[in-house]
Amino acid sequence: MKISNILIFLILLLSSQFGLSANKNILVFGDSLSAAYNIPSDKGWVNLLKQELQKKQQDSEITNVNIANASISGETSAGGVTRFQSQMTKTKPDIVILELGANDGLRGYDLTTTRQNLTNMIIISQQANASVLLAGIHMPPNYGRTYTRKFDQIFTDLAKMDKVSLIPFILEGVATNPEFMQKDGLHPNEKGQIVIVNNVLPYLLPLLKTN
């Protein structure tokens, strides 16, 4: 057996034994929370996540992870579902980080439609054999207890679907801390982006190691 073939065999063997993932593609599909709104794109959490994963690749915790960010500021679930299939075809992800719904809630959209749009994107992901990491969002309390409860329920219900994991609240430790928020009170600043990465990583890494 040629030396190059032996090396390839050893790499595959070690990856299998230690649960490492090779050549994983991640699609981040969201709104302004993931699109580095009003801050330099390299300071956004998606780019910071890339850097963290690169470090873990160097430490041999994971291998060969690529991230495509298809997030658009102002995006709704309705807008997202119309372009989702084309993004799936383009990026062929193994994992989809789905971060949509916040603008639906803030605009008081019909939550049945929001649920269906998110469900459709999850189904498209499943049909492409991609796992989904769903980013949970909470509405501000001034929207009323009934509406906020129904909004939260969308994410907890969808997390029960096959191959769907849930980040309970992607802005945990950020949304209620003015130090991490921009003046509009809706979008994280550069400091807040770092916290978001720490919120995402514990749910993403198991998918990279087992997917």
User: Which conformational region is residue 167 in: left (phi greater than 0), alpha (psi within -120 to 50 degrees), or beta?
Assistant: beta
Give a three-class secondary structure readout of 121-154: HHHHHHHCCCEEEEECCCCCHHHCHHHHHHHHHH
Q: How far apart are CA 49 and CA 82, in angstroms?
A: 26
Rounded mean pLDDT of the chain?
Answer: 91
Q: Is 184 one of the catalytic residues?
A: yes
The reported pTM is 0.88
Of 31, 77, 131, 187, the catalytic one is 187
Of 59, 110, 162, 184, the catalytic one is 184
Is 98 within a domain? yes
SS3 for 184? coil
Most confident of 15-29, 61-75, 82-96: 82-96
Between 16 and 157, the higher pLDDT residue: 157
pLDDT at 9 over 60: no
Q: Count of CB atoms within 10 A of residue 205's CB?
A: 16
Q: How far apart are CA 41 and CA 36, in angstroms?
A: 5
What confidence score (pLDDT) does residue 7 get?
46
CATH code of the domain in which 68 resides:
3.40.50.1110
The model's pLDDT over 21-43, given as tens digits with 9 standing for 90+, comes to 458 999 999 999 999 999 999 99
Q: How many domains does the chain have?
A: 1
The model's pLDDT over 129-143, given as tens digits with 9 standing for 90+, comes to 999 999 999 999 999
Of 21, 31, 32, 104, the catalytic one is 32
Is 168 within a domain? yes
Average pLDDT in the 76-93 region? 98
Average pLDDT in the 66-70 region? 97
pLDDT at 199 over 80: yes
Is 93 within a domain? yes
Average pLDDT in the 107-129 region? 97
Task: Please say whether the beta carbons of 162 and 194 come within 8 A.
Answer: no
Is 11 within a domain? no
**86-123 burial, b if ≥16 CB within 10 A, otherwise e?**
ebbeebebbbbbbbbbbbbbeeebebeebbebbbebbe
Is 4 within a domain? no
Structural domain boundaries enclosing 103: 21-210
The CA distances from residue 9 to 3, 14, 18, 76, in Å, are 10, 9, 14, 45
Is 114 within a domain? yes
Task: Please say whether the beta carbons of 77 and 134 come within 8 A.
Answer: no
Quick one: tokens of 55?
Answer: 């470090």
Is 6 within a domain? no
Is 9 within a domain? no
The model's pLDDT over 156-195, given as tens digits with 9 standing for 90+, comes to 999 999 999 999 999 999 999 999 999 999 999 999 999 9
